[in-house]
Amino acid sequence: MLEKYRADCPNLAQIEITYLNAAKASYTSLFKVIDVNLKERSITIVDLLDSSNQSLSVLNVNLSKTIQPDCVIFSRLLPFEQFNAFSGMLAAFNEGSDRALLKRYKVMKQRVKSERESVRRFVACFKLNRIFPRSRKNTV
């Protein structure tokens, strides 16, 4: 869809091209919050479904005010050249729940009947968000 839009609209502004490139490279995952930086309005995360354990900084004004380290977030990451951002649905899970969450995620994802990995991932995390309630201090 993004490629078709770009082909149909050849005279896009640079900012539109930048956003479309980030959207094309975007992906959903379960991210563990490692650190919160109120001054920079960002959080540092690690992708729990990626074995590289590389930390990423994500700009998010509201989330940096409300989230606590060790929480796990399901969302779509938009990787821009100079920063990362979240887009779309966000689900937050209790701090310290990442092991149990990953175990249940793998089981739940296998139950989702779809050929698309992104669909299985979304449905599994949506259902897990109903099973793993948020703690009151970690309201997003």
Q: Please give the chain's pLDDT, 140 residues, in tens.
A: 888 888 888 899 999 999 999 999 999 999 999 999 999 999 999 999 998 889 999 999 999 999 999 899 999 999 998 899 999 889 888 756 678 889 899 999 999 999 999 899 999 998 888 876 554 444 44
Distances from the Cα of 21 to the Cα of 66, 69, 79, 105, angstroms? 29, 30, 9, 29
Instruction: At 92, list the tokens.
Output: 């937050």
Which residue shows structure tokens 């992906």? 27
Question: Which domains are present in the chain?
Answer: 26-138 (2.40.50.140)
DSSP 136: G
